[in-house]
A and B are shown apart, each in its own frame.
Chain A
Amino acid sequence: MREPSLCEVLSECDETLIVRLLEFVPEDMDLPRAPRDGVILMTCREGLNETFHLGEVLVSETLVRWRGVEGYAVVVGDDPRRSLVAAAIDAMRQAQASPPDLETLLSAAADALLARRTEDARAAASTRVEFDLLPGA
């Protein structure tokens, strides 16, 4: 199963984790693009290889600058704190200054998300079916 990205983890984690992660956001961080809600136009490719716009997805976006690096994030949903935290972590990781405690929290959240997805897959797998034709059909 695909490893969830940072933004996926932060778009789906509990509110309490976001509150804890906000404490790690450096105070001296600049916000060239403050957290804002918006939409991403979702473009898809269908079975005949045509690309078309399926619709728009509500997201939150943030761009931060810290110690000469720029952190950027788009998170599904309209919670600006989530994209702020994601962008801040992106910048801290680039600056190789992400605190170990923060990474531990993120790792646990990623594991929890992966566990939920594994559970979904297990439920789906339990409905796998093999049909047999009736005699004479």
Chain B
Amino acid sequence: MSYVAVQGGREAIERACEAYEHRRSGRTSAPLELDQIREQLHLAVDRVMGEGGLYAPEHASLAFRQAAGDTFEAAFLLRAHRATLPRIAQSEVCSTGPMRVIRRISSAFKEVPGGQILGPTSDYTLRLLELDPLEDPVERRNHLRERLFSGKEPEGGIPDEFPRVVELLRREGLVQEVTSSSEEPFDITRRSMLYPAPRSARLQSMARAETGALLFLAYSSMRGYGDIHPTLAELRVGYVPLTVTNPVTGRTFVAGEVLVTEAEVVSRFSEPGGEPRFHLGCGMCFGQNELKAISMGVLDRCLRSPSPSCPAEDQEFVLYHADGIESMGFANHWKLPHYVDFLSDLDRLRKAREVAHARA
């Protein structure tokens, strides 16, 4: 089945676009300002950036507003905008070592070098709706500020660099190392991916995949359609310096900071004839998107399975279906006119029924 080109209805289409815009802009509520979206709906903005593959908080806020809160559509807008821009350069290889951490936890060890930093999170709330519209939001903001920043300096401070938790396991030889490729990382935006895909291509593909798709696939493995039972060695959220090279002097400099979430999961694995070791799975994405990074870490480990036995371990299954813009585009295309194909289908069905009735 395929869609067909049609013409006509231009005025109706224009009105439909205006009706969408009118509905989006609301009837009586105050217009949404971009800084409100960027600051107060930051998790949605982060998700749009990650799935759009472009770190641009202002533009992601704009896309989120234009898409009336639809993260698929907003990520599509952002990725389409990215396609209009020249690629100026490639960064130096950025490490999360010098990350300016705002959150860092480990569920593998109670005590980790550098300490556990809960950071801004709703993990420990009761998920009760705050039905208190009388509270003044400005007053509340000031109260929170007072609680966080007044009083004596917290003990310990935040170190400039946190050692990786997984190094504790690595020192004991408990981590199965992966031979990393010495080649330039694969770039899925410039070359078609062939399977089996190199790990760098898989990581890039998952870094811009749709959060729900990654979660769904990782969850299937965690629940039993697969054998990855992960432990979160480390989850960190923070700002990583974007380092680029000055083409005139050849010296490197920091162009700005990029908010990133990184997750490292470990799972126990025994290879026939080999020593049991932990296998590490890594997830990393733009913004604060912990579910995505954890899911990606689980799937990174799943996709290295020597004998794939379930959908989450099948490279083609995972990577072909996890991109939100592709899957959303395909599902949406069913709304386009399929009149000719459907009439043909209808015709064949009627003829088949005639034959069936004649036989009866």
**Are A47 and B280 interface neighbours, CB within 8 A?**
yes
Chain B residues, Cβ within 8 Å of A51: 93, 180, 185, 200
Contact status of A54 and B255, CB under 8 A, knowing A43-B185, A74-B89, A124-B119: no
Nearest CB on B from A104, distance (A)? 22
**Are A52 and B110 interface neighbours, CB within 8 A?**
no
Q: Does B63 contact A (CB under 8 A)?
A: no
Chain A residues, Cβ within 8 Å of B120: 123
Nearest CB on B from A64, distance (A)? 10
Contact of A7 among B98, B201, B255 (CB under 8 A): B255
Contact of A58 among B56, B98, B253 (CB under 8 A): B56
Q: Does A120 contact B (CB under 8 A)?
A: yes
Bitwise, B142-167 to A at CB < 8 A (1) or not (0) is: 00000011000111111010001010
Q: Does B313 contact A (CB under 8 A)?
A: no
Chain B residues, Cβ within 8 Å of A43: 90-94, 185
Chain A residues, Cβ within 8 Å of B103: 124, 127
Contact status of A55 and B286, CB under 8 A, knowing A41-B91, A74-B88, A122-B149: yes
Within 8 A of A (CB), among B58-86: 58-59, 82, 85-86
**Are B88 and A46 interface neighbours, CB within 8 A?**
no
User: Once the chains are docked, how many angstroms separate the CA of A49 from the CA of B95?
Assistant: 10
Chain B residues, Cβ within 8 Å of A97: none
User: Once the chains are docked, how many angstroms separate the CA of A58 from the CA of B340?
Assistant: 43
Residue on A with the closest CB to B84? A37
Within 8 A of A (CB), among B103-157: 103, 110-111, 115-120, 148-149, 153-157
Q: Does B258 contact A (CB under 8 A)?
A: yes
**Are B158 and A121 interface neighbours, CB within 8 A?**
yes
**Are A70 and B248 interface neighbours, CB within 8 A?**
yes
Taking residues whose C-beta sits less than 8 angstroms from the other chain, chain B's interface range is: 35 or more
* Most-contacted residue by chain B among A38, A39, A44, A78 (CB, 10 A): A44
Q: Does B336 contact A (CB under 8 A)?
A: no
User: Once the chains are docked, how many angstroms separate the CA of A36 from the CA of B10?
Assistant: 36
Q: Does A85 contact B (CB under 8 A)?
A: no
**Are B91 and A42 interface neighbours, CB within 8 A?**
yes
* Most-contacted residue by chain A among B59, B178, B254 (CB, 10 A): B254
**Are A38 and B87 interface neighbours, CB within 8 A?**
yes
**Are A72 and B254 interface neighbours, CB within 8 A?**
no
Contact of A42 among B58, B181, B242, B247 (CB under 8 A): B242
Within 8 A of B (CB), among A1-55: 1-2, 4-8, 11-12, 36-55
* Most-contacted residue by chain A among B98, B200, B255 (CB, 10 A): B255
Chain A residues, Cβ within 8 Å of B177: 48
Nearest CB on B from A133, distance (A)? 7
**Are A11 and B255 interface neighbours, CB within 8 A?**
yes
Q: Choose, from B47-55, B212-220, B342-350, the stretch at the interface.
A: B47-55
Nearest CB on B from A38, distance (A)? 4
Contact of A45 among B82, B95, B153, B157 (CB under 8 A): B95
Chain A contact residues, CB within 8 Å of chain B: 1-2, 4-8, 11-12, 36-59, 61, 63, 70, 72, 74-78, 117, 119-131, 133
